[in-house]
Amino acid sequence: MKNLAVLAALLLGLTGSAQAGDAEAGKAKAATCAACHNADGNSVNPVWPKLAGQNEGYIVKQLQDLKKGMETQGKEGRLNPTMSPMASPLSQTDMEDLAAYFASQTAQMGAAKKSTLEQGQSLWRGGDKKAGLPACQACHGPTGMGMAAAKFPRLSGQHADYIKAQLIAFKKGERGNDLNAMMRDVASRMSEEQIQAVADYVGGLH
């Protein structure tokens, strides 16, 4: 089991490469994205992620990985039947501009489900020692804002259905573009009940 908390702490010290995106240029380029993610990045369909307020570096990395997944047919990066073809024609500048635009938007918050609130909050704040699960906040922050320098995503306000789908994909090994397989390791230890509880919790976390 990797010491995620220590690794996260080390990554906090990284400055990373600053994104030089142009938000105004990104707004114009985001017209195509609006069909699924809405004009301001607050998608209505719960299976499509909210991009509003997401960390720029994370958005750029995902677009790079999705493009690489298309080029290598899933051998590298991240292959998604919907998004990989969309990312394929994008240049680095396009990616940075789109990231700057969506990062500048305000995420619309949801609400955590009362039925799973206690379990979701417990996992987020303290993990599960018996299952070897670290606290989610170790990498994604107490309020779910992520770690921009480490390119760890903001999860605050994200759709529960989308979070659940990604955790399941990591658990099954269907998604593998996480740093040092950290999310695959964590998700593999999570029960379906725990996955649902965490997914329900982040929608109202802020």
pLDDT along the chain (206 residues), means of 10: 46 49 98 97 98 98 98 96 98 98 97 97 98 97 97 98 98 97 98 98 95
Domains present along the chain, CATH in parentheses: 4-12+109-202 (1.10.760.10), 23-103 (1.10.760.10)
Q: State pTM to two decimals.
A: 0.90
Burial classification of residue 56, based on how many CB atoms lie within 10 Å of its CB (0-12 exposed, 13-18 middle, 19 or more buried):
buried
| Sign, CA torsion 198/199/200/202 | positive
Structure tokens belonging to residue 90: 């994008």
| Cβ-contact 140, 205 below 8 angstroms | no
8 Å CB contact between 147 and 139: yes
pLDDT at 185: 98
d(CA 23, CA 89): 19
pLDDT value, residue 19: 53
Task: Quote the pLDDT of residue 20.
Answer: 82
What pLDDT is stored for residue 144 in this prediction?
A: 98
pLDDT at 65: 98
Q: CA dist 33 to 21, 39, 86, 133, 169, Å?
A: 17, 7, 9, 35, 23
pLDDT for the residue numbered 118: 98
